[in-house]
Structure 1
Amino acid sequence: MPFNSFYQRVNLAYKSLSSIVAVPSIPIRLYSKSYRYSTMASLMTPQAAPSWDFSPHSLLRKTHELIRDSKLFYDSLVQIKEPTVQNLVKPYVHHENHLGRLESQLTFLQHVSSNKDLREASVKSAELLQKFTIEQSLRNDLFLQFDKVWKYMEFKEKDYDFELYKYVEKIYKDYTRNGLQLTQEKREKVKALRMKLASNMLEFSRNLSEQKEAIYFTKVELDGVSDSVLDQFEKITENDVTRFKVTFKYPDILPVLKTAKNAATRKLAYIGDQDKVPENEKFLINTLKIRNELAQTLGYSTYADYSLDIKMAKNKGIALQFLGELKDQLRTLGLKELQALKKIKEKECASLGTPYDGHYYIWDHRYYDNKLLRDSYNVDLEKISEYYPLEPTIKGMLGIYETLLKLKFVEEVDPNKKSVWHDDVKQLAVWDAEKCEFVGWMYFDLHPRDGKYGHAACFTLAAPYTKEDGTKSNAVTALVCNFSKPSTKKPSLLNHDEITTFFHELGHGIHDLVGQNRVARFNGPNAVPWDFVEAPSQMLEFWTWNESELSALSSHYKTGEKIPNDLVKSLIATKHVDGALFALRQLHFALFDMAVHTNNEVENLNLLELWNKLREEVSLVENGDTMTRGYNSFGHIMDDSYSAGYYGYMWSEVFAADMYYTRFAANPLDSEAGIKYRNVVLARGGLYDMKDNLHDFLGREPSKQAFLKELGLD
């Protein structure tokens, strides 16, 4: 997922007159197609990489400077007696463009720093900045200045620069969505509600990042879990009994759920993972109440109506119809898949001499899904991962993007370590291979550690834009993942899911980098409607299911040999195995999200009952004798962009499948199609209507046909 910039969190401009601290540029060389350093002449990056050399004190000092200087700037704008595009809009644009970079740095460190004090300072910085931004976004005097400009611009689009016209239109829309057209009393109410929402979101996110919960099992209880996985667990011995510490980080918990033979072990692991961070429930409940009150104050019947007003679906009726039809279409196929899994469970119970009760529980699913792959498709996911050591596999993935999109990636090492926030982090300079132009900076932070963001995401650290002198300020983006660390016995190995995840997040990073608009807020994934934002990355996942690409990426960690063809073919044959059940699981999240955001009586909502009832009804697997609180770690629902928007994951897959099958299926490495995709879908960002961009790329209106075919519903 792309992590939201400040634009999405509070929907209005912010920033300060502080400049970014940067390290000097140093010479670099480009990777050749063999992914080694080439003999091309050294190139100098025109834009230095950001420095991450912050202390808690310096970070907060920068935050206060940013707020102080930004307030002075906004105060100066309201003094303009006759506001125009020239004296109001252009300075505002440059202010927003230039100074978002530091804000992103200051607030990003809460997710990745290994220093708890620095993480806390970053959280505090985010709190201060959000409070300030909300205050400025509700300044009536600033709104009146833009109101004057918009009144004489609104019906004269052809008389103005298109990008500036769309910018003022967007700013004005943000103001009205913030209630600036309302009475002062209601504006103050909106302000208070937004302040509380921002605080809740920060606390919810911090609790997830800081959680260190774990569950302990003996080796007997972990029967079926491979020795290589057991080696990565911390061991605790008490009273001569050794237990393995299984955290709820992905590299720990998923192998247990997939391979532990003991159903009681899987059940405990599942419940523990689902019920972590119980302290988040109060923040979610309070957030739902506030969102409902906010929407009604702003004139919307529900929060879903407010949220979807700026998405492609436009209203909750269309989104709910899409989800409902998909649920009904998938049910028959899902039940068929479920019956096949039940037979596998029944067969295993018979072989073990244990009774089979005819039930299939939620903690059974990953295990029997994995067993189906092994037994029926001869797919050993752990064996396959031996052919995908992290370093060469990532170089190979970058090579695909180089070929397809005509980019070059270069790892750059700063001996002073000021250009990275942790020793694990890799820093890459990205270039346009055809124009020999610098595109921007990309960071890879790929291994778990205490206090780090626990999932996989792409963080926009700076969108590209054109500076006042006409030169370009380049993008900065970071891919944050949690792949297993290398051990003394072997390097970090990627399973196929992780390969797909990385390719997906890398797609968001490329979207960040290649924007060509002059205004930062129109570039990158954060600029497009949030029910399209996943489509570019979802489309790129198709490459990780192609035989030629999987073979090219492979290199056995011991021998360097390519993966055998039979292994690749058996893996590809599993692409749609239990696909309906997976899609139904996604629909459970989406329908829960819509249910809580279309209910005007939030105080009467029983989240525990709703979550579990919907899961059993939609995803078709049984809860058994337990009810869990997975919503406490459902981070998307607390995010302003994904709330009442999780349907977008499925909605955007319609466009992803259509783009791939129309332009790339016949030749996945067609650089001509790749360049068109880069220029039309990615580089245009959010400046133009996304439906127009899709029409230009596809040569027709989008179609559901490829999407339904992927789901087995054509």
Structure 2
Amino acid sequence: MKILYSCIFMVTSLLVITCSGNNNVVAGRGATDSGERMHDLTQLNFAYTPDEIRSICDQEQNRVNAGIDAVAGLDLSTVNFDSGVLALETALAEFSAGLEPVNFLKYVSPDPEVRDAADECEQAIAKLYVDIFAREDLYKVVKACETKSQNLGAVQKRLITEYLDEFQRNGLELPLEKRKQFIEKKKKLVEITTEFDKNLVEWKDSLIVSRDELDGMPEDYIKGLEKTEDGKYKVGLSYPEYFPFMQNAKNADARRRLQIKFFNRGGNRNTDLLESAIRLRHESAELLGKKNHATFVLEQRMAKAPEKVLSFLNDLIAKLKPKGEADLAEMLEFKQKDDPAATEILPWDWRYYDNQIKKEKYQVDQQKIKEYFPLATVNKGMFEIYETLLNVDFVEDTEAPRWHDSVLAYKVVDKKTKKHLASFYMDLFPRPGKYGHAAAFTLVSGYTRADGSYQRPVSSIVANYNAPQEGQPSLLTHSEVETQFHEFGHIMHQVLTTAPYTTFSGTRVKRDFVEAPSQMLENWVWNKESLSKLSGHYLRPSETLPDELLDSLLKAKLANAGITYLRQLFFGTLDMTYHTSASVNSTAVYEKLQKEIMLIAMPPGTQPQASFGHLMGGYDAGYYGYLWSEVFAQDMFTRFEKEGLLNAKTGADYRHWILEKGGTVDPSELIKGFLGREPNNVAFLESIGLSVR
């Protein structure tokens, strides 16, 4: 549930929601010689060869350098917003537009050589951004524009401030020698994070199990597994294979062996890379006079300081620990039915017994439930809900270019004006070398072009649900329905933007707010009326989720919520601990904090942090943002609860205040504008089963 994207101010191009969300796949270097950028989906190109990618990457770097040189050479006495800051913004926006498609192929291309070439290009771009924001001549131009900004509008002033901050945060106020050290460290970080990501994507391992060790697994799962020559089965580490196994396989030792493999993805090399990144981030922050990396990062977030984040996390940990302890006690009771001598819940037990409790105590059988959530039905119902709320239509675009036959493409059309606003893709099934999680990628950012027209945004959901099998469509668990709804919320945030500048486009908002719009929309999949729209049995489409299953699902919403939220609090605390330190033994810290906070031991002989991609993908000192955002998400939802989940007026206000403005206004003002009051945490605490009295 991330947002991946290539951000203008991104030193590590494309990262996980760090700059906001995604990669960007823009117009094939279908851009013309005159520098025209793509304005139509048909101009996208996903069929580049590796050599073409390298050529485009070089061309675009030459182009942006020429544009930036022109800005840097302006007379400081006569430069103004349009000739200086806006010209710089335009050069970088067009650079991003020319290369976003290329970068995106790193995550989705079926061709490993194309992925490698895109990866090389992404590294080169990230290093170029470091160089751009280390240019003193450009910095002087922006400073000169600031001195003449009195009569500018609020968004223009905000853009100048963003650029000044970015230059300063890239060492422009440092003495020359320290500036060189800073730049060297930033470029090394680019190499480290890129290698970490590549190692994870290319990691291959599986567990060989006998048919007996698949006891508890549904037949459709077993049918989908690859078989060995001697008749055994390979259980892979992709989400559609790993998580169902951990939730349903009765053989505890098989679960243990699979979890150890899963928690060793990335291996020793990624652990070393993570620890190097933590050290380099700290050293870079110190060069800028900051206490640590978290202090540096949080200055630009809603939270402002590590102390405030840790207070937020620790307060929730204290409130949720009793619930977590009660959850584990109940799980142990269930485990003792299988093993009377059991005295604790082991790391490979909790997902299994969480599932058993939901099945036996709440009659929530995910295997039965998923029969009512064929992917096509979920998407159809999801589209209807979003169309009603946001006053748009989604029209399938069968002519759009695509990178794989299974990919779907759609246009977003405004219901009132009939204007084609944007487009999006859905790439929903696993394949070798593809990005392995669920994320929303920006392929083309929306912004006002030089001729006054608006660049249509293009985005893509990339996910990994079970692919259709013979005689059976792709079926989603309720959790996956929630994921799809969440990621599509990110897509709407990206494509309904009206922000004039790429810097503020779509999900380019403060990181600890960026999840809130999508998290709020998750509430629809816990509503009876919505679930009837989203469901329909795959063999009997008119038969929606039965009331008894629906009621059971809703009753089980907070089952084992203590452990679920303590897990998130553990990740947030781990991240802050890593990034308030000069250097760490990342495995020892992980082991200590997991036991202290989540109350379950780390699997022995593992290094889960080696696959904790958030920490190398833009969420460094930012993982707390998932829970921080949820406070605002649940508060915003109170308006829909009061006025109706399909209330078009409330949806229109949501589109106007939360989705369209992007980063042009501070999130606290957007929330206040939508709610008509200051936000509070009452709805959030109630949503996780905590009393507010």
TM superposition score normalised by structure 1: 0.91
Counterpart secondary structure, 2:214: coil
Q: Provide the residue aligned with 2:637 in structure 1.
A: 660
Match of residue 382, structure 1, among 367, 374, 390: 367
Which stretch of structure 1 is more off in the superposition, 605-614 or 574-583? 605-614
Aligned-pair CA distance for 1:692? 1.0
Measured in 1, the distance between the counterparts of 2:474 and 2:102 equals 30
Measured in 2, the distance between the counterparts of 1:530 and 1:19 equals 27
Measured in 2, the distance between the counterparts of 1:533 and 1:552 equals 27
Aligned-pair CA distance for 1:565? 1.1
Matched, 1:151 2:147: yes
Measured in 2, the distance between the counterparts of 1:113 and 1:46 equals 21
Matched, 1:700 2:677: yes
Check conservation: 1:551, 1:563, Cα contact below 8 A: yes
Q: Provide the residue aligned with 2:500 in structure 1.
A: 518
Matched, 1:188 2:180: yes
Match of residue 160, structure 1, among 152, 165, 173: 152
Aligned-pair CA distance for 1:407? 1.1
Check conservation: 1:464, 1:520, Cα contact below 8 A: yes
Check conservation: 1:590, 1:646, Cα contact below 8 A: yes
Q: Alpha carbons of 1:504 and 1:12: their partners in 2 closer, same or farther (altered >3 Å)?
A: closer
What amino acid does structure 2 have at the position aligned with 1:245? K
Match of residue 88, structure 2, among 86, 89, 92: 92
What amino acid does structure 2 have at the position aligned with 1:335? E
Q: Provide the residue aligned with 1:81 in structure 2.
A: 75
Aligned-pair CA distance for 1:22? 5.2
Match of residue 59, structure 2, among 55, 65, 71: 65
Q: Provide the residue aligned with 1:6 in structure 2.
A: 7
What amino acid does structure 2 have at the position aligned with 1:404? L
Aligned-pair CA distance for 1:667? 1.2
Matched, 1:555 2:551: no
Aligned-pair CA distance for 1:46? 6.1
What do residues 131-178 of structure 1 show as CA deviations (whole Å, max 9, x unaligned)? 22211111111111112222333xx2xx11322221111101111111
Matched, 1:584 2:566: yes
Check conservation: 2:430, 2:463, Cα contact below 8 A: yes
Aligned-pair CA distance for 1:11? 8.6
Q: Provide the residue aligned with 2:378 in structure 1.
A: 393
Which stretch of structure 1 is more off in the superposition, 79-88 or 52-61? 79-88
Give the RMSD, CA atoms, in angstroms: 1.9
What amino acid does structure 1 have at the position aligned with 2:479? D
Check conservation: 1:466, 1:519, Cα contact below 8 A: yes
Measured in 2, the distance between the counterparts of 1:326 and 1:585 equals 12
Counterpart secondary structure, 1:694: helix
Q: Provide the residue aligned with 1:621 in structure 2.
A: 600
Measured in 1, the distance between the counterparts of 2:652 and 2:138 equals 41
What do residues 76-124 of structure 1 show as CA deviations (whole Å, max 9, x unaligned)? 1222123222321222232233332222111111111010000000001
Matches within 5 A, 1:459-538: 459-525=441-507, 527-538=508-519
Matched, 1:371 2:364: no
Matched, 1:306 2:296: yes
- Structure 1 residues not aligned, in runs of 5+: 25-44, 350-354
Check conservation: 1:608, 1:627, Cα contact below 8 A: no
Measured in 2, the distance between the counterparts of 1:48 and 1:114 equals 20
Check conservation: 2:447, 2:500, Cα contact below 8 A: yes
Check conservation: 1:12, 1:171, Cα contact below 8 A: no
Check conservation: 2:373, 2:476, Cα contact below 8 A: yes
Match of residue 112, structure 2, among 109, 116, 129: 116
- Structure 2 residues not aligned, in runs of 5+: 33-38
What do residues 499-527 of structure 1 show as CA deviations (whole Å, max 9, x unaligned)? 000100000000001111211211211x2
Measured in 2, the distance between the counterparts of 1:529 and 1:257 equals 35
Q: Provide the residue aligned with 1:335 in structure 2.
A: 325
Check conservation: 1:556, 1:562, Cα contact below 8 A: yes
Q: Alpha carbons of 1:134 and 1:181: their partners in 2 closer, same or farther (altered >3 Å)?
A: same
Counterpart secondary structure, 1:442: strand
What do residues 307-329 of structure 1 show as CA deviations (whole Å, max 9, x unaligned)? 10100000001001000111001
Measured in 1, the distance between the counterparts of 2:455 and 2:94 equals 8
What amino acid does structure 1 have at the position aligned with 2:283? E
Measured in 2, the distance between the counterparts of 1:528 and 1:163 equals 13
Percent same amino acid at aligned positions? 33
What do residues 511-557 of structure 1 show as CA deviations (whole Å, max 9, x unaligned)? 001111211211211x2110011001000000011111111211111
Matched, 1:281 2:271: yes
Counterpart secondary structure, 2:75: coil
What do residues 185-206 of structure 1 show as CA deviations (whole Å, max 9, x unaligned)? 1111111011011111111111
Aligned-pair CA distance for 1:347? 2.0
Aligned pair count reads 671
Matches within 5 A, 1:96-107: 96-107=92-103
Q: Alpha carbons of 1:665 and 1:247: their partners in 2 closer, same or farther (altered >3 Å)?
A: farther
Aligned-pair CA distance for 1:9? 2.7
Measured in 1, the distance between the counterparts of 2:435 and 2:264 equals 18
What do residues 291-348 of structure 1 show as CA deviations (whole Å, max 9, x unaligned)? 0100000110000000101000000010010001110010111111211111111123
What do residues 31-82 of structure 1 show as CA deviations (whole Å, max 9, x unaligned)? xxxxxxxxxxxxxx96645221211111111000001111111111222123
Measured in 2, the distance between the counterparts of 1:19 and 1:394 equals 27
Matched, 1:225 2:217: yes
Q: Provide the residue aligned with 1:569 in structure 2.
A: 551
Check conservation: 2:41, 2:423, Cα contact below 8 A: no
What do residues 233-257 of structure 1 show as CA deviations (whole Å, max 9, x unaligned)? 000033xxx2111111001111110
Check conservation: 1:20, 1:101, Cα contact below 8 A: no
Measured in 2, the distance between the counterparts of 1:22 and 1:666 equals 47
Counterpart secondary structure, 1:6: coil
Measured in 2, the distance between the counterparts of 1:347 and 1:569 equals 27
What amino acid does structure 2 have at the position aligned with 1:582? T
Matched, 1:247 2:236: yes
Matched, 1:634 2:633: no
Q: Provide the residue aligned with 1:209 in structure 2.
A: 201
Check conservation: 1:166, 1:687, Cα contact below 8 A: yes
What do residues 434-470 of structure 1 show as CA deviations (whole Å, max 9, x unaligned)? 2211111100000001000000000111221111111
Check conservation: 1:21, 1:51, Cα contact below 8 A: yes
What do residues 389-418 of structure 1 show as CA deviations (whole Å, max 9, x unaligned)? 11121111111100111111111113xxx7
Aligned-pair CA distance for 1:564? 1.1
Measured in 2, the distance between the counterparts of 1:7 and 1:92 equals 11
Measured in 1, the distance between the counterparts of 2:629 and 2:446 equals 24
Counterpart secondary structure, 2:344: coil
